[in-house]
Chains A and B, each alone.
Chain A
Amino acid sequence: MKGQALAISLVIASGVATFIMSRSTHDSLERTQAAFYQETRFAELFATLKRAPESLRQRIQSLPGVDVVETGTLADVKVDIEGFADPVRGILVSLPENPEDGLNRLYLRAGRFVDPRRDDELIVSEAFAEAHTLRPGDGLYVVINGRRKHLRIVGVALSPEYIYQIAPGDIFPDYKRYGIFWMARRALSTAYDMEGAFNNLSLTLSAQAQEAEVIERIDDLLESYGGLGAYSRENQLSHRYLSEEFRQLERMAMIFPIIFLGVSAFLLNMVVSRMVGTQREQIAILKAFGYSTTDVGLHYIKLVIVIVIIGVGIGLICGVWLGRGLGGLYMEFYRFPFLAFELRPGTIVTAALVSIAAALLGTIFSVRRAAGIAPAEAMRPEAPAIYRETFFEKMGLKRVLSQPSRMIARHIERRPMKSFLSIIGIAMACAIMMVGSFQEDAIDYMVDIQFGRAQREDLAVTFVEPTSRRALYDLENTPGVQYGEPFRVVPVKLRFGHRHYRTGIQGIESGGDLQRLLNKDLNVIALPASGIVLTEYLGKRLGVQPGDTLTVEVLTGSRPHREIQVAAFVSQYLGVSGYMELSALNRLMREGNAISGAYLAVDKAYRTQTFAALKEMPRVAGTTIRESAIKSFYETMGETLLIFTFINTILASTIAFGVVYNSARIMLSERSRELASLRVLGLTRGEISYIMLGELGVLTLAAIPLGFLIGWRFCKVISDNLQTDLYRVPLILESSTFGFAATVVLISTFVSGLIVRQHLDHLDLVAVLKTKE
């Protein structure tokens, strides 16, 4: 009874711990984000433009709804770090005279702010500094407006604008090859000929401001200054990625606990009702002493509540501990300077209530059944249960079955509902094991497909600005480069009806080998000569179908609006994009043969030479190395997700064990009398164990395939809910996931079997004979 109660408590604890961990991690991150935004005064609207005089600031400031305005200068730069051959790029951001004032303040992690009068001091983002173990006092080279300049690092900082530090257009963050750098505004303006001007704008809104209206007015104002379109926080790169991840975390924090709590509630219900079922005689005695059904019910309810409360208590402690740990991990990953841990009372109350309700439901039902029997009847030996020959025996299998095997078969068949529930219980345990490990498979698969079939380039080179197609030949003549395919990226807002989405249209040449588009079945499809092809996910977001006509609002140049037909959808697990034939895109833009960069296939042997040559090209703004992108993904995002999964796997194993162990113990208490009788007749310990463990074994073996099925459903629910702008997790289940789930269940069965075997070896033969059934 004690072991069983503990096992039940552990099942509840695992469910509760998952719930608390997931919720508190999510709530803490959101609170941390809000606190950090507030402390650093993160802006609410953003805009970049080509160049506007500082005087424009006044006009922006006087727009209705605008609160605080901050202007600045941004520049894309290439960076050189001694001893690191790979191309590194980043953004150089201007720092106002008084950096402790205004919007988007830096949060210094080490060192100091730059001297506003100096032009050789630099602050680097913490992620970048850590990736290269840079400290204040170290130096690096930055190519500023074509001139390579040595700068001294004076500080390491965090910024609300770059919490999620990812290069525009990249799918994964790569801290080693992309960094954020801050420099005194005066020095930066001088270098880029931006004195008395700005190309970057942030602002906050007043309380009653209409965001859309402000955006419209700012766009009007900036139009003649090369504005790229103002956007709110929800389209700010770092914030958007962050919210996507939080959204995903929130869904995980909903789905996992629902599955876990649901499964543990189901098991609790099952275990409790069977436990009460074995207490028939005690219930009768209590009733004979004059206790009412309600009294007896209360007795068991109290017992169950104690078990549940112990479980909830353990779960709460573990959940908080895991939540803090996981929160800390995410904090490091997202680079918040502090973690504002938050455990909402509602979270605890929900976990406790769900557990108690599930337990009570199971208890009340079975207690009512047990206590409803008249005392005299319950104390009389229960009439021998009615058995029949099983279906299989009637089919002629009987002759091959020994008596013990017949016992197993008939036990299982006699109470099909009970056997079925045991099977479901074990199957559930198996299923949540799969939930734990499925994402690992999915991530591997996602990366495999995306980079193996669709984005197959070794390097993606981006030019400083759209350039003539001839620039491709320069790239192709670079040492180590085997060949290249050009691309053009145009930042746009796609609009269909009232729905819109900011993204880029990628123009590529059809028939390319490095960039390819995949259909639903992941086969390569040809790029249509006209029209736009959308990632299916984007199509759904916009509510369009192939054949519909979209409005393309170009965000650069003269910001034209064009109509275009959706030609097809493509499948893509990562990112959200629109694709067009390169020349069709250029026609749409009414521009000639422009390209924004190229995808290159390179020979690894010449890696160093290739990188050195690319660094020398003034036209090249940045280079993304596919291999390191994948690696950095696994190192950061993958790891974070997998730790979440790993913890869940452990909790799932606990549940699996708790269920199997409880099933075994219940079976033992139901069978011990019979087994003792057999021992009296001279059956050995091994022979009676066969009967008992054989039944457990048969149930387990039947449960595993069912568990696979349920697990597949669970994974599908998760996969359906993990569709975000960042990535869509496909429903991919490797055989290792099935194998692992089955193994854990089998090991649980084996260990439970060993424990039960211990009990079987110490059956009290004499005591059994003295009592009636």
Chain B
Amino acid sequence: MQQEIVFQARGLTKVYSMGEVKVHALKGIDLDLYAGELVVLLGASGSGKSTLLNILGGLDTATAGHVNYHGRDLTVANDRELTDYRRHHIGFVFQFYNLIPSLTARENVGVVTEIARDPMKPEEALAIVGLGERLDHFPAQLSGGEQQRVAIARAIAKRPAVLLCDEPTGALDLATGIIVLEALERVNRELGTATVLITHNAEIADMADRVIYLRDGLITEIRKNEEKRAAGSLKW
């Protein structure tokens, strides 16, 4: 499988300083991410998963090292460039759905499609995650799983190159979690969106093309799954 590289991280380091104390969240990460693949980032709480994802997504900046995205170095980008990068290239899904409560499902997606360059229709994005019927519901009228799927629809509606998901099932029960994972699987398969999925649940790793293990701010192992399991067959 010789594919186009989307991200290339080299020597990525992140140090948080809180007064006297310095926390080394990332201690030198080298990582390549290929177009269209589904990667699961696995690691204990505090191992640096979110930090890595945030830097890849242009929400945070690295202390040292470089991240290359399609030839751009994110580590030297300013706020305007990072905003533009998030706006057109990256889709985010978080544990807490972060929907805008005052907007309907359709409008939550619309927030993104209004400003994207080549978006799909909000209805289309919602259909992909199986919410074609609940377009005009407000977040308050949707279940947790449904809200998360709206968040996924919102993330993919701009047809991003990369979808970054930080524990998207963390706040959901098993059955709902699986529906959400199925939606992500479908997006990855049908749209070919490179997807990075953070979890501390080893079971979920089975649905990935590659699994990256993180411990204490370092990659300890990168494993290729010979055989991907369908999200629907997972259990935990």
Residues on A close to B: CB < 8 A? Answer: 381, 383-388, 402-404, 406-407, 410-411, 414, 673-674, 677-685, 687, 765-766, 768-773
Contact = CB atoms under 8 A, between A and B. Distances in A.
B102 interface: yes
B11 to A, nearest CB: 21
Given A403-B107, A679-B83, 9 more contacts: A385-B140, A403-B114, A411-B102, A673-B98, A677-B100, A680-B59, A681-B87, A683-B115, A766-B60
Contacts of B127: none
Contacts of B218: none
Given A769-B94, A771-B96, A681 B86 contact: yes
A682 B107 contact: no
Contact of A384 (B54, B83, B140): B140
Interface centre among B100, B158, B166 (most CB of A within 10 A): B100
Contacts of A765: 59-60
Closest 8 CB pairs of A and B: A682-B87, A682-B86, A677-B98, A410-B102, A384-B101, A384-B139, A384-B140, A387-B102
Given A678-B111, A769-B166, A407 B102 contact: yes
Contact of A386 (B98, B115, B138): B138
A765 B92 CA distance: 12
A592 B158 CA distance: 102
Q: Chain A interface mostly helix, strand, loop or mixed?
A: helix
Contacts of B90: 682
B112 interface: yes
Contacts of A771: 96
Contacts of A385: 101-102, 140
A403 B138 contact: no
Contacts of B115: 682-683, 687
A407 B79 CA distance: 25
A118 B12 CA distance: 106
Contacts of A387: 101-103, 138, 140
Nearest to B166: A769
Contacts of A687: 115
A765 B98 CA distance: 12
12 contacts: A385-B101, A386-B140, A388-B138, A402-B114, A407-B100, A410-B103, A674-B101, A681-B86, A681-B111, A681-B154, A683-B83, A770-B50
A381 B97 CA distance: 12
B115 to A, nearest CB: 7
Contact of A769 (B79, B96, B147): B96
Nearest to A383: B140
B222 to A, nearest CB: 25
A403 B59 contact: no
Contacts of A769: 59, 94, 96, 98, 166
A406 B136 CA distance: 14
A529 to B, nearest CB: 75
Contact of B59 (A404, A766, A772): A766
B203 interface: no
Interface string B189-222: 0000000000000000000000000000000000
Given A387-B138, A403-B103, A682-B86, A773 B96 contact: yes
Interface of B: 50, 54, 59-60, 79-80, 83-88, 90, 92, 94, 96, 98-103, 107, 110-112, 114-115, 138-141, 147, 154, 158, 166
A387 B86 CA distance: 28
Contacts of A678: 100, 111
Contacts of B114: 402-403
Contacts of B112: 681-682
Nearest to A401: B107
A322 B96 CA distance: 54
B50 to A, nearest CB: 8
B83 A381 contact: no
A398 to B, nearest CB: 10
B103 to A, nearest CB: 6
Nearest to B80: A684
Contacts of A414: 102
Interface centre among A386, A403, A411 (most CB of B within 10 A): A403
B205 to A, nearest CB: 23
B87 A683 contact: yes
A414 B101 CA distance: 11
A772 to B, nearest CB: 5
Contacts of B158: 682
Contact of B92 (A411, A680, A770): A680
A606 to B, nearest CB: 76
B56 to A, nearest CB: 13
A687 B114 CA distance: 12
Given A403-B107, A674-B100, A677-B100, A684 B83 contact: yes
B126 to A, nearest CB: 15
A406 B140 contact: no
Nearest to B110: A403
B171 to A, nearest CB: 8
Nearest to A770: B50
B83 A682 contact: yes
Contact of A407 (B59, B84, B85, B103): B103
B138 A384 contact: yes
A687 B111 CA distance: 11
Contacts of B141: 386
Contacts of B79: 685
Contacts of A677: 98-100
Contacts of B84: 682
A25 B17 CA distance: 56
Contact of B86 (A406, A680, A766): A680
B82 to A, nearest CB: 9
Contact of B88 (A682, A684, A768): A682
Contacts of B166: 769
A773 B171 CA distance: 13
A401 to B, nearest CB: 10
Nearest to B141: A386
Contacts of A404: 111
Nearest to A410: B102
Nearest to B91: A681
Nearest to B136: A389
Contacts of A681: 86-87, 92, 111-112, 154
Contacts of B80: 684
A625 B211 CA distance: 100
Nearest to A403: B111
A681 B154 CA distance: 9
Contacts of B154: 681
Interface centre among A386, A414, A769 (most CB of B within 10 A): A769
A685 B103 CA distance: 20
A686 to B, nearest CB: 10
Interface centre among B94, B111, B154 (most CB of A within 10 A): B111
Given A766-B54, A766-B60, A771-B96, A406 B103 contact: yes
A404 B96 CA distance: 21
Interface centre among B59, B101, B102, B140 (most CB of A within 10 A): B102
Contacts of B147: 384
A288 B138 CA distance: 31
A768 B98 CA distance: 9
A682 B111 CA distance: 10
A268 B103 CA distance: 32
Contacts of A410: 102-103
A16 B50 CA distance: 51
A766 B100 CA distance: 17
A687 B100 CA distance: 15
Contacts of A770: 50
Nearest to A765: B59
Given A387-B138, A769-B166, A680 B100 contact: no
Contacts of B54: 766
Nearest to B90: A682
Nearest to B89: A682
A679 B92 CA distance: 11
Contacts of B85: 682
A386 B107 CA distance: 15
